[in-house]
Structure 1
Amino acid sequence: MMNSAAVAYPPPMTMEPPVGYPTSTVQGNHVPADTRSRGDGFWKGCCAALCCCCVLDACF
């Protein structure tokens, strides 16, 4: 029987982060997210496209 503890994973390597990688967890210049509703422009456009397709289909 072994007296030493089994190691499941090797110890983590200590490496420098790449240049430009954020190293600080403090976010002093955090900009709040804009959470406005987009409205119903998509549905209006979708209905207009379907209507145009139907009119063109009826004409030709």
Structure 2
Amino acid sequence: MSSATTQTTVAHPAPYYVQAPPPPAGYPTRDDQNPPAAAHGPVETKSKGDDFWKGCAAALCCCCLLDACF
């Protein structure tokens, strides 16, 4: 008894790549030689005080008062 093996090759399709559409007008890109943000100079930050913490404390007080009332 003899057995014959047959090999079959399966062809896989070649991968294809989809190119992204171009960015909208005015959108900064890596190859932009003169980005609009560079013309404005350095960005300055200013301290806004402790209003955040005052608001946080007020919210906690309100929450505690509402919890005590109801």
The two structures have a TM-score, normalised by structure 2, of 0.45
Highest CA radius of gyration, 1 or 2?
A: 2
- The answer to whether structure 1 residue 54 and structure 2 residue 64 are counterparts is yes
Return the letter of the residue paired with 1:59.
Answer: C
The two structures have a TM-score, normalised by structure 1, of 0.51
What count of residue pairs does the alignment treat as equivalent?
Answer: 41
Distance 1:24 1:31, change over 3 A: closer
**Cα offsets for 1:6-58 (capped at 9, x unmatched):** xxxxxxxxxxxx77521248x4x233212211211110110000000110011
Q: Which runs of 5+ in 1 are unaligned?
A: 1-17
Q: Which runs of 5+ in 2 are unaligned?
A: 1-21
| Alpha-carbon distance in 2 for matches of 1:46, 1:24 | 43
- Tell me which stretches of 4 or more aligned residues in structure 1 moved more than 3 Å: none
Identity %: 59
> What's the counterpart of residue 50 of structure 2?
40
